[in-house]
Amino acid sequence: MDRYAVVGNPIEHSKSPLIHAMFAEQTGQQLEYGKLLAPLDNFIGSVRDFLREGRGVNVTVPFKEQAWALVDEHTPAAERAGAVNTIMRREDGSLLGDNTDGKGLVRDIQVNAGRSLKGLSVLLVGAGGAARGVIQPLLAAGPQHLCVINRTVSKAEELAALFVDQGPIAAAGLQWLVEPVDLIINATSASLAGELPPIPDSLIKPGHTWCYDMMYGAEETPFNRWASERGAARCIDGFGMLVEQAAEAFALWRGVRPDTAPVLAALRQA
């Protein structure tokens, strides 16, 4: 039976085995999917050992950049992102690396939430790996403009410069912008620490601005709570993105894309 796994450190909390088990049942695919705890100092060895027999892995924190360096070939999405979250072992033994995070984010917003990104003013908070992984798919969706804001402005500027050929993108400091925007995406990990990125309240136009936190948890994230209290029209967490990016990985491995709606509904209910 074909074996797959999600690899990270820590990894015990991961929902990926449950998600892929539901995908497999829905599509009639025979596979095993587990968790792989990789030592912080031996990610590459752990993955190579698994992929001697295994067919693929999903990669989570903190190994996505190491995964990029490990694979033999990158998809265009992974090449742009500078990080890999999905590895497939091909028949000749070579490793293909993809990054499905951005596709998952865009699909969650446009399909699950029903909000087209075309023509919108979009603010992306943060300039780390999570932000870099989603910029190209965001720009491909046709926003009016995308602005990356970050505490260290030079990092935002460097990130924007990498994608200037992909669409209308700019950079700014966290407090530089005050006018409302259509959509704010939090790509920082502040919510995991119970904190907020220090951005102005005026960026939210009550009843109009949507807010999306790429983090998720059992409770509303601090970012989404802040947005809701300031009248945001819609607040969405990153759980849908998790399921959608997993579906993209499943499609790469198995050649069939599962229907994510019933899986997402079942997981949210649980």
Structure-block tokens of residue 43: 């990610």
Q: Are strands 183-186 and 121-125 parallel, antiparallel or unpaired?
A: parallel
Q: Is 224 annotated as a binding residue?
A: no
Q: Is 127 annotated as a binding residue?
A: yes
3-state SS of 146-184 is EEEEECCHHHHHHHHHHCCCCCCEEEEECCCCCCCCCEE
Spatial separation of the C-alpha atoms in residues 108 and 90, rounded to whole Å? 29
DSSP letter assigned to residue 192: G
DSSP letter assigned to residue 32: E
Given 64, 103, 118, 205, the catalytic residue: 64
Q: Is 245 annotated as a binding residue?
A: yes
Apex CA 68: angle with CA 23 and CA 141, to 5°? Answer: 65
| Cα distances (Å, whole numbers) of residue 59 to 12, 167, 246 | 13, 28, 11
Q: Is 130 annotated as a binding residue?
A: yes
Omega prior to 180 cis, within 30 of 0: no
Spatial separation of the C-alpha atoms in residues 67 and 211, rounded to whole Å? 30
Q: Is 155 annotated as a binding residue?
A: yes
Q: Is 35 annotated as a binding residue?
A: no
Q: Is 227 annotated as a binding residue?
A: no
Question: At 74, which helix (H) or strand (E)?
Answer: strand 73-74
Q: Is 186 annotated as a binding residue?
A: no
103 among known catalytic residues = no
Q: Is 128 annotated as a binding residue?
A: yes
Q: Is 175 annotated as a binding residue?
A: no
- State the helix-helix crossing angle for 16-27 and 260-269, rounded to 10 degrees: 140
Q: Is 126 annotated as a binding residue?
A: yes
Q: Is 217 annotated as a binding residue?
A: no
**Which residues fall in the annotated binding site?**
14-16, 60, 85, 101, 126-130, 150-155, 214, 216, 238, 245
**Which residues fall in the annotated binding site for shikimate?**
14-16, 60, 85, 101, 216, 245
**Which residues fall in the annotated binding site for NADP(+)?**
126-130, 150-155, 214, 238
Catalytic (active-site) positions: 64
